Amino acid sequence: MARLVAKAVSKTYGATKALRRGDLEVEAGEVHVLIGSNGSGKSTLCKIVAGSVRPDSGELLLDGKPVTINDPQEAKTYGIGIFYQELSLAAHRTVAENILLSNLPGGVFVDRKQLVATASRYIALFDGVTGEGFSAGATVEALRPDQRQLVEIMKALSTEAPILIFDEPTSALDRAQVDRFFDILRRLKAEGRSIVFISHRMDEIFALGDRVTVIRDGETVATKRIDETDAAEVIRLMVGGESAGMETAARAPAANKAAAQTVLSVGNLSGVGFHNVSFDLAAGEILGLGGLHGQGQSAVLRALFGASPPSSGSVSLKGEPLDANSPRATIKRGVAYVSGDRRRDGVIAGRPILENVTPIHALKQRLALAAPSSLRDRAKPALEALRTKFAGFGHPISSLSGGNQQKIVIARWLIDRPDVLLLDDPTKGIDLSAKTDLFQLIRKLAAEGMAIVLYSSEDAELLGNADRILVFNGGGVTRELTGADRTAFNLYQAAYEAA
Ligand X SMILES: Nc1ncnc2c1ncn2[C@@H]1O[C@H](COP(=O)(O)OP(=O)(O)OP(=O)(O)O)[C@@H](O)[C@H]1O
Task: Please choose, out of 13-21, 254-262, 275-283, 460-468, the segment that lies near ligand X by the rule CB under 6 A.
Answer: 13-21
Q: Which lies closer to ligand X via its Cβ, residue 457 or residue 490?
A: 457
Q: Which lies closer to ligand X via its Cβ, residue 86 or residue 127?
A: 86
Least separation, in Å, of the C-beta of 16 and ligand X?
A: 5
Does the protein bind ligand X through residue 293 (CB under 6 A)? yes
Task: Please choose, out of 10-18, 62-70, 374-382, 462-470, the segment that lies near ligand X by the rule CB under 6 A.
Answer: 10-18
Please report, for residues 45, 58, 84, 119, the alpha-carbon distance to residue 78 in angstroms, rounded to integers and kept in the order given: 17, 18, 18, 22
For residues 32 and 195, the answer to whether their CB atoms sit within 8 Å is: yes
Residues 6 or more apart whose CB falls under 8 angstroms from that of 388 comprise 404, 407, 408, 411
Q: Which lies closer to ligand X via its Cβ, residue 18 or residue 499?
A: 18
| Euclidean distance between CA atoms 215 and 237, whole angstroms | 8
Q: Which lies closer to ligand X via its Cβ, residue 16 or residue 399?
A: 16
Q: Position 251: which residue type? A: R
Q: Which lies closer to ligand X via its Cβ, residue 41 or residue 476?
A: 41
Build a one-symbol-per-residue string for 368-397: x at contacts with ligand X by CB under 6 A, - elsewhere: ------------------------------
Candidates 16, 256, 311, 433: give the one binding ligand X (CB under 6 A). Answer: 16
Least separation, in Å, of the C-beta of 246 and ligand X?
A: 17
Does the protein bind ligand X through residue 291 (CB under 6 A)? no
Least separation, in Å, of the C-beta of 47 and ligand X?
A: 7
Least separation, in Å, of the C-beta of 428 and ligand X?
A: 8
Least separation, in Å, of the C-beta of 374 and ligand X?
A: 40
Least separation, in Å, of the C-beta of 83 and ligand X?
A: 13
Size of the site for ligand X (CB under 6 A): 12
Q: Which lies closer to ligand X via its Cβ, residue 215 or residue 338?
A: 215
Q: Which lies closer to ligand X via its Cβ, residue 40 or residue 159?
A: 40
Does the protein bind ligand X through residue 402 (CB under 6 A)? no
Least separation, in Å, of the C-beta of 158 and ligand X?
A: 24
Least separation, in Å, of the C-beta of 116 and ligand X?
A: 34
Q: Which lies closer to ligand X via its Cβ, residue 202 or residue 445?
A: 202
Least separation, in Å, of the C-beta of 403 and ligand X?
A: 15
Least separation, in Å, of the C-beta of 450 and ligand X?
A: 28
The residues in 21-60 that bind ligand X, with binding defined as CB under 6 A, are 36, 38-44
Does the protein bind ligand X through residue 13 (CB under 6 A)? yes
Q: Which lies closer to ligand X via its Cβ, residue 44 or residue 170?
A: 44
Q: Which lies closer to ligand X via its Cβ, residue 46 or residue 154?
A: 46
Q: What residue ranges bind ligand X (CB under 6 A)?
A: 13, 16, 18, 36, 38-44, 293
